[in-house]
Amino acid sequence: MRQVNRRDIPAPKALTEDGRPGRNELERVRAHRADPATRDKSFSFKAYKHDEVKAALEHLFHGKCAYCETFYSAQAPVDVEHYRPKGAVADDPEHPGYWWIAMDWDNLLPSCIDCNRRRKQQAPDPSASLAELVAGAMTDAKSGKKDVFPVGGTRAARDTDALEREEAFLLDPCRDDPMEHIAFHLDPGDLWPLALPKRAPGAAPAVAALGDGAAIADHAAALDLSQRGAVSIQVYGLNRLGLVQDRARVLKHLEFLRGLIFEIDAMAADLESHADPAVRRVGRTLSALSDRIVEELREMSDPAAPYSAMVRQWCDRFLEDLSA
């Protein structure tokens, strides 16, 4: 997950203009909620699925899931996801859902099926050590957001309540910088890039608090980990087996390019000091090739690339090593 500026593109007119689906639907749902005869009945929301909304989210997130950065178009149509759930809240059975922002552009995100739909997935065993986890200690665990929306403050129940007072535990990539809360376990010795909740800013991540359960936020806080990072990792399923395997393939490619760069640089240095001008030219050509590979690494961390947050973390460390 990486930070995205929602203001990079205008909100879809289908949601914001008078007489269009978004405004019309808000009026209808207000009337629905105000009428005692219909208040407790379900309401069919449709405006958020408008083609203009899907196109805008596709453009804003480069065709990737807002949470796991997987290209969803290769496997299934996008799920237009509500950051705050529209019709129910799993954590509060009496809550009607955040119906008043069901058609609000700021509440909509693109999601892959696995991040959005709650179901059992193979994920890290929360009782395992880091060594056991990177060796493949997995268990069946329920993940996927659906209607889950845990808060640490006062939950908004009406359209007049302040959303800011909720102190939401789930990260929103358009409001938060996920890299302040989540880091990846990047070890060239095991190539098992788990998403981990961060400690204090700048500190190393830790493996604790990866498990399920209502106490996960308290568990993370007790260990001085990011509560929001820990909860988001579990709810969005950022360590489900297939996703970690996909990230591992990218990480393996990064490590291959890293080794290639150091080998080429070593050969280039030897050749560029040779007495023969022709040999020195070969050395310079190799140096240029190494620079091109470094540029390829930078492109892999571009916002449009898959798993760019993980790649950016890897590149930051690699470039430090390269300049050392």
Phi and psi of 225, rounded to 5°? -105, 160
Q: Which residue has the tokens 């260990």?
A: 223
- Assigned domain for 112 exists: yes
Number of domains in the chain: 3
Q: Are residue 125 and residue 46 in the same domain, yes or no?
A: no
Secondary structure class of 305 (helix, strand, coil): coil
For residues 240 and 145, give the distance between their C-alpha atoms in angstroms, rounded to a whole number.
13
Structure tokens at 36: 């005692």
Give the tens place of pLDDT for each residue, 245-269: 999 999 999 999 999 999 999 999 9
Dmax (CA) for the chain in angstroms is 92
Q: How confident is the model at residue 114 (pLDDT cuts 50, 70, 90)?
A: confident
With contact defined as beta carbons under 8 Å apart, do 5 and 176 qualify? Answer: no
Tell me the pTM: 0.85
Quote the domain boundaries for residue 20: 1-117
- Assigned domain for 62 exists: yes
With contact defined as beta carbons under 8 Å apart, do 91 and 145 qualify? Answer: no
Structure tokens at 31: 């009337």
Q: Are residue 111 and residue 148 in the same domain, yes or no?
A: no
b/e per residue 104-119 (b: at least 16 CB within 10 A): bbebbbbbbbbbbebe
With contact defined as beta carbons under 8 Å apart, do 12 and 56 qualify? Answer: yes
Q: Which residue has the tokens 């208040």?
A: 39
- Assigned domain for 84 exists: yes
Secondary structure class of 316 (helix, strand, coil): helix
Judged by average pLDDT, the poorest of 12-21, 85-94, 115-124, 219-228 is: 115-124
